Chain A
Amino acid sequence: MPETDTTFGDYGGQYVPEALMPAIEELTDAYERYVLANEDGFMDEFRERIHDFGGRPTPLQRADNLSERYDRDIYLKREDLLHGGAHKLNNALGQVLLAKYMGKERIIAETGAGQHGTATAMAAAHLDMPCEIYMGRRDVNRQRPNVFRMRINGAEVNPVDIGRGTLKEAISETMRDWATTVENTHYVIGSIVGPAPFPAMVRDFHRIISEETRRQTREQYGRLPDSVVACAGGGSNTMGIFADFTSDSPFSTAPDSNTDADEDVSLFAVEAGGSSLDVDEERGVAPNSASLSTGSEGVLHGARTKLLQNTDGQIMESHSVSSGLDYAGVGPELAKLVDDDRVTPVNVDDDAALEAFHRFSQEEGIIPALETAHAFAFLETDADLGEFVVVNVSGRGDKDLEAALEETAKRDLPNAPTMEVFDE
């Protein structure tokens, strides 16, 4: 039986109340047996369901117009085409199925952009489990279509009013629910964050993105890419597409056969630079979510990782135009890979992300999630990406239309369409 480590170097760990520890032990055992050792054919069933219900494999598509614009080959890993419209279903389906194998009777989850909540609600309906989602009030207001989707799939949605009402508060509130209901409930955490074994387990459900990407790049381009670009909030789509390119890392569960040429693939994690990288210590506000680029080590939501915090260790209020990136922490494994210089953290601001949102929509006919738009904004910089670049299209932007148009109207973006004709 494989044994899992609870840490990634100095990062990770299990900083949670004692009441949750027995459930964490139980989950660790289930992760080792079902996910790592495929007991009872768990992973076979997962793969079958993510294929039939989810629509995997997702395509790897050459972006002809962007390739021309940047004078290099830009390929898109189309996670926006996964059922639900984002990469999130890989993890949500995996965890809800695991909860079933564990004999749990109820599912809870937090959500920021509503994509994880939507994916969890879909997976719970598919596998016939009752489901409750916690979502910050501010996010409820800026991602309304997803609130409706969750409700239509039969999930309860509980708005969280404390604090700024974003992802951080939603995670805290879901942990409180779990502390009360832990005996029959599984908490489907939505990114590679939280106490062990969540970061490794969530990564392993998303690892299929990079498994497909390796195969598809070889089949379609004859070799692995020079660089892979993904946005990073907590970092699940990020580690999902990076996982099989980091098989030299001691924490990898990728096949050993992968190590060839891995280190020649540059990995870029694009964080939300928000409105500014400056921090207001006095007010406890960091108007960005760039914890990999600017954060410091600390403990939040069960793990030691890189955080936006003041000198006392109080967590800062983060900001991003995209709800899904608006978080003061990041996955511990990404923090470690950044320290090891394996992953390069970069960031782009709100304005650049919005501009990229419109550019990508117009050039390629794909409306990206605002989160994903950050990855595209990074292509505009003069970073050394090589000839062959894969961008993870983590999600589609339907959920963002209202927010994107509202944010666009506040700015003077050269490439934004005018909506005036419809205003009458």
Chain B
Amino acid sequence: MSNPAIDAAFADEPAFIPYLAAGDPSYEASLEYVEALARGGADIIELGLPFSEPIAEGSTIQNAIVRSLQGGMTVGRYFEFVTDLDVDVPVVCMTYYNLIYQYGDESGPEPFVRKAKSVGIDGFVVPDLPAEEADPLREACDRHGLDLVFIVAPTTDDERLDRLVSLSSGYLYIQARLGVTGARDDVSNETTSSLDRLADYDIPKAVGFGIKTGEHARDIIAGGADGIIVGSALVDIIAEGTETDSPTEEPAAELESLCQELKAGALEGAQ
């Protein structure tokens, strides 16, 4: 039932999954930044559709969302953005449920899923949609062959884990530590214990929350993960670019090179 493009991303090598908020800080610059991720070796791109109340996000991504919304990002523009995007890796839309819900109608969230599919989106991550509330979106995704990725937290107990694995398609998003998104200087031990618990489940496991360097990537993959998700460390580059008013090429080049480092780290971890 899962999406073949996403399955393929995990097929041979660990998957490197970078995140950026679409439209940060402007539509045009953001297109270049996201394309730089692909050049840097992204296997899947998690593309944020900014929501005004991002309760799972730390300050780095909150600020990215503010910049994007101030730059004029809307749901309609986001779909155009994905259409304009020139990358040949799968795109997973990361957003909050209210935007999906408002695009929907009496039939539920299906219109959003249908539109997403038509512009080339392959799946969704929705941080404020726990298993309890997910049935309507899960059904709509099934109908259109899109993946719905669930987040497993350090606090998730075994009973919930079974339920999340059965609901999730594409991959599982393993939240490396408690808290909100944001780049950290170390790899959390919670990650290893989560990966151990998940070893027997037959679904790709991608670890995110706090990964910043090639070394982190290596250690996490060596610890048994099938992929790494990196957001804040990349968004930091864009934030710095806006502060120093750099021409778009500079942050783009830095993004590409950090992606290469992360990807190389992941490959090394898989040896």
Q: Footprint of B on A, CB under 8 Å?
A: 6, 13-23, 162-163, 168, 172, 175-176, 179-183, 284, 298-302, 304, 307, 309, 311-315
Known: A22-B157, A179-B178. 8 other contacts (CB 8 A): A15-B129, A18-B153, A163-B66, A176-B56, A176-B58, A179-B180, A182-B178, A309-B102
Query: Is the beta-carbon distance between B51 and A314 smaller than 8 angstroms?
Result: yes
Give complex CA distance A311, B99 in Å.
9
Give complex CA distance A22, B158 in Å.
11
Give complex CA distance A302, B132 in Å.
12
Provide the residues of chain B in CB contact with A20, threshold 8 Å: 155
Give complex CA distance A15, B75 in Å.
20
Query: Is the beta-carbon distance between B156 and A180 smaller than 8 angstroms?
Result: no
Q: How large is the interface on B (under 10, 10 to 19, 20 to 34, 35 or more residues)?
A: 35 or more
Provide the residues of chain B in CB contact with A15, threshold 8 Å: 97, 128-130, 133
Give complex CA distance A162, B70 in Å.
14
A7: nearest chain-B partner, CB-CB:
B133
Tell me whether B160 is interfacial, beta carbon within 8 Å: yes
Provide the residues of chain A in CB contact with B55, threshold 8 Å: 16-17, 172, 175-176, 179, 301
- Pick the contact of B175: A14, A18, A315 (CB < 8 A): A18
Query: Is the beta-carbon distance between A180 and B178 smaller than 8 angstroms?
Result: yes
Query: Is the beta-carbon distance between A312 and B102 smaller than 8 angstroms?
Result: yes
Give complex CA distance A14, B132 in Å.
7
Query: Is the beta-carbon distance between A180 and B98 smaller than 8 angstroms?
Result: no
Query: Is the beta-carbon distance between A298 and B156 smaller than 8 angstroms?
Result: no
Mind listing 17 A-B residue pairs with CB under 8 Å? A6-B132, A13-B132, A14-B133, A15-B130, A16-B130, A18-B164, A19-B153, A168-B53, A179-B179, A180-B179, A181-B178, A183-B178, A298-B101, A299-B101, A300-B53, A313-B99, A313-B102
Tell me whether B81 is interfacial, beta carbon within 8 Å: no
Provide the residues of chain A in CB contact with B156, threshold 8 Å: 18-19, 21-22
Provide the residues of chain A in CB contact with B16, threshold 8 Å: none
Q: Mark B144-170, 1 if CB is under 8 A from A, else 0.
A: 000000111111110010001000000
Q: Mark B49-69, 1 if CB is under 8 A from A, else 0.
A: 001111111110010001001
Query: Is the beta-carbon distance between B155 and A299 smaller than 8 angstroms?
Result: no
- Pick the contact of A298: B102, B133, B155 (CB < 8 A): B102
Provide the residues of chain B in CB contact with A6, threshold 8 Å: 132
Nearest CB in chain B: distance from A146 CB, A: 24
For window 28-64 of chain B, which residues contact chain A by CB distance below 8 Å?
51-59, 62
Query: Is the beta-carbon distance between B98 and A19 smaller than 8 angstroms?
Result: no
A311: nearest chain-B partner, CB-CB:
B102
Query: Is the beta-carbon distance between B155 and A183 smaller than 8 angstroms?
Result: yes
Tell me whether B103 is interfacial, beta carbon within 8 Å: yes
Tell me whether B111 is interfacial, beta carbon within 8 Å: no
- Pick the contact of B97: A22, A299, A307, A311 (CB < 8 A): A299
Query: Is the beta-carbon distance between A298 and B132 smaller than 8 angstroms?
Result: no
Q: Is the interface of A mostly helix, strand, loop or mixed?
A: mixed
- Pick the contact of A17: B51, B53, B56, B75 (CB < 8 A): B56
Ranked 10 nearest A-B pairs via Cβ: A313-B102, A19-B153, A180-B179, A313-B98, A299-B98, A314-B52, A312-B75, A313-B99, A22-B155, A315-B52
Provide the residues of chain B in CB contact with A22, threshold 8 Å: 153, 155-157, 160
Tell me whether B3 is interfacial, beta carbon within 8 Å: no
Provide the residues of chain B in CB contact with A313, threshold 8 Å: 51, 75, 98-99, 101-103
Provide the residues of chain B in CB contact with A17, threshold 8 Å: 55-56, 127-128, 130, 151, 153
Provide the residues of chain B in CB contact with A163, threshold 8 Å: 52, 66
B58: nearest chain-A partner, CB-CB:
A176
A168: nearest chain-B partner, CB-CB:
B53
Tell me whether B192 is interfacial, beta carbon within 8 Å: no
Provide the residues of chain B in CB contact with A298, threshold 8 Å: 98, 101-102
With A22-B160, A179-B178, A301-B55 as given contacts, are A13 and B133 in contact (CB-CB < 8 Å)? yes
Query: Is the beta-carbon distance between B102 and A18 smaller than 8 angstroms?
Result: no
Provide the residues of chain A in CB contact with B56, threshold 8 Å: 17, 176, 179
Nearest CB in chain B: distance from A199 CB, A: 15
Nearest CB in chain A: distance from B95 CB, A: 10
With A181-B178, A182-B178, A183-B178 as given contacts, are A21 and B154 in contact (CB-CB < 8 Å)? no
Nearest CB in chain A: distance from B117 CB, A: 19
Provide the residues of chain B in CB contact with A309, threshold 8 Å: 98, 102
Query: Is the beta-carbon distance between A21 and B132 smaller than 8 angstroms?
Result: yes
Q: Mark B86-112, 1 if CB is under 8 A from A, else 0.
A: 000000000011110111000000000
Tell me whether B74 is interfacial, beta carbon within 8 Å: yes
Provide the residues of chain B in CB contact with A175, threshold 8 Å: 55
Query: Is the beta-carbon distance between B103 and A301 smaller than 8 angstroms?
Result: no
B179: nearest chain-A partner, CB-CB:
A180
Query: Is the beta-carbon distance between A19 and B175 smaller than 8 angstroms?
Result: yes
Provide the residues of chain B in CB contact with A179, threshold 8 Å: 55-56, 178-180
Nearest CB in chain A: distance from B266 CB, A: 24
Provide the residues of chain A in CB contact with B101, threshold 8 Å: 298-299, 304, 313
Give complex CA distance A179, B133 in Å.
18
Provide the residues of chain A in CB contact with B132, threshold 8 Å: 6, 13-14, 21
Query: Is the beta-carbon distance between B133 and A19 smaller than 8 angstroms?
Result: no
Nearest CB in chain A: distance from B31 CB, A: 20
Query: Is the beta-carbon distance between A16 and B128 smaller than 8 angstroms?
Result: yes
Provide the residues of chain A in CB contact with B160, threshold 8 Å: 18, 21-22
Give complex CA distance A181, B154 in Å.
12
